[in-house]
Amino acid sequence: MCAQRTTPSISTSKHGLILLGNSGVGKSFIGNVVLGRDVFEHECSSSSVTHETEFEDYTVGNSSYAVFNIPGLIEADQEAVDRNKAEIYKAFQQRPNSVIAFVFTGGSGGRIRDEDVIAFKAIHAAYNFQSDSLLLIVNDLPLNRSPKYEGATAIKLQGLVNIPNVRICFLDRISQTELRSNETKGEKKHGLDKLEQKLAGAKSFLKQYSASIEKRAPGLGKMLQTIPQQTEREKMRQKLIEAIIQCTPHPHEKQAEIQLTVDELKNLTEESKKMQQAMEQELLKRQTDIDEQQKKFDQLKQELDAKPREIHHYHEKIVERSGGGICTIS
Ligand SMILES: Nc1nc2c(ncn2[C@@H]2O[C@H](COP(=O)(O)OP(=O)(O)O)[C@@H](O)[C@H]2O)c(=O)[nH]1
Ligand SMILES: [Mg+2]
* Pair (202, 150) in one structural domain: no
146, part of any domain: yes
Nearest ligand 1 atom, CA 21: 20
Atom of ligand 1 nearest to the CA of 176: 1
Q: Is residue 307 domain-shared with residue 215, that is, in the same domain? A: no
Integer Cα distance of 111 and 146 in angstroms? 12
Q: Which ligand is nearest to the CA of 48?
A: 1
pLDDT band at 174 (very low <50, low <70, confident <90, very high): very high
Q: Are residue 181 and residue 199 in the same domain, yes or no?
A: no
Residue 9 lies in a domain: no
Domain housing 210: 194-225
Name, in order, each residue with C-beta under 8 angstroms of 159's C-beta and a sequence gap of 6 or more: 275, 279, 282
Is it the case that residue 329 has pLDDT exceeding 60?
no
Confidence tier at 30 by pLDDT (50, 70, 90): very high
Do 219 and 108 belong together in one domain? no
Q: Answer yes or no: do 130 and 268 share one domain.
A: yes
**Position 326 in a domain:** no
Cβ of 48 less than 6 Å from ligand 1: yes
Pocket of ligand 1 contains residue 32 by CB under 6 Å = no
271 and 209, same structural domain? no
**Residues 134 and 271 both lie in one domain:** yes
Q: Residue 176: what pLDDT?
A: 85
pLDDT of residue 316: 55
Q: What domain count does the chain have?
A: 2
Domain assignment present for residue 329? The answer is: no
Query: Can you give the pLDDT at residue 179?
Result: 82
More confident residue, 123 or 314: 123
Same domain, 210 and 93: no
Residue 235 predicted with pLDDT over 50: yes
Ligand with smallest separation from the Cα of 74: 1
pLDDT recorded at residue 189: 46
Is ligand 1 within 6 A of the CB of residue 41?
A: no
Per-residue pLDDT band for 60 (boundaries 50, 70, 90) equals: confident
Average pLDDT over residues 278-296: 97
Instruction: Residue 314: give its domain's CATH number.
Output: 3.40.50.300
- Which of 17, 22, 29, 38 to mutate for ligand 1's pocket (most ligand atoms within 8 Å of CB)? 29
> Is residue 36 scored above 50 in pLDDT?
yes
Q: Are 273 and 114 in contact (CB under 8 A)?
A: yes
Band of residue 282 on the pLDDT scale cut at 50, 70, 90:
very high
225 lines ligand 1 (CB under 6 A): no
Average pLDDT, the chain: 85
> What value does the mean pLDDT take over residues 160-177?
95
Residue 327 lies in a domain: no
Condensed to tens digits (0 to 9), the pLDDT of residues 104-155 reads 999 999 999 999 999 999 999 999 999 999 999 999 999 999 999 999 999 9
Q: Is the CB of 42 under 6 A from ligand 1?
A: yes
Strand partners, 137: 103, 169
Q: Which of 225, 245, 280 is the last residue of a domain?
A: 225
Distance of CA 251 to CAs 4, 65, 145, Å?
21, 14, 37
**Does 166 reside within a domain?**
yes
For range 265-284, the mean pLDDT: 97
The residue whose C-alpha atom lies closest to atom 11 belonging to ligand 1 is 44
CA of 19 to the centre of ligand 2 (A): 9
CB neighbour list of residue 284: distance below 8 Å, 6 or more residues apart: none
Judged by average pLDDT, the poorest of 66-75, 193-202, 259-268 is 193-202
Ligand nearest to the CA of 44: 1
Residue 28 lies in a domain: yes
Based on the domain organization, do 221 and 288 belong to the same domain?
no
Query: Side chain identity at 269, as an amino acid letter?
Result: T
| DSSP labels, 6-39 | S-TTT---SEEEEEE--TTSSHHHHHHHHHTS--
Residue 247 has pLDDT above 60, yes or no: yes
What are the CA-CA distances from residue 81 to residues 40, 108, 122, 136 (Å)? 21, 23, 12, 22
In a domain, 4, yes or no: no
Q: Are residues 71 and 206 in the same domain?
A: no
Q: 173 with 287, same domain?
A: yes
Mean pLDDT of 244-252: 92
Final residue of a domain: which of 169, 203, 225? 225
> Ligand 1: distance of its center to the CA of 17 in Å?
18
Q: Whole-angstrom Cα distance, residue 3 to residue 302?
A: 40
The predicted model gives 225-250 an average pLDDT of 85
Residues 159 and 53 occupy one common structural domain: yes
Ligand 1 within 6 A of 237 CB?
no
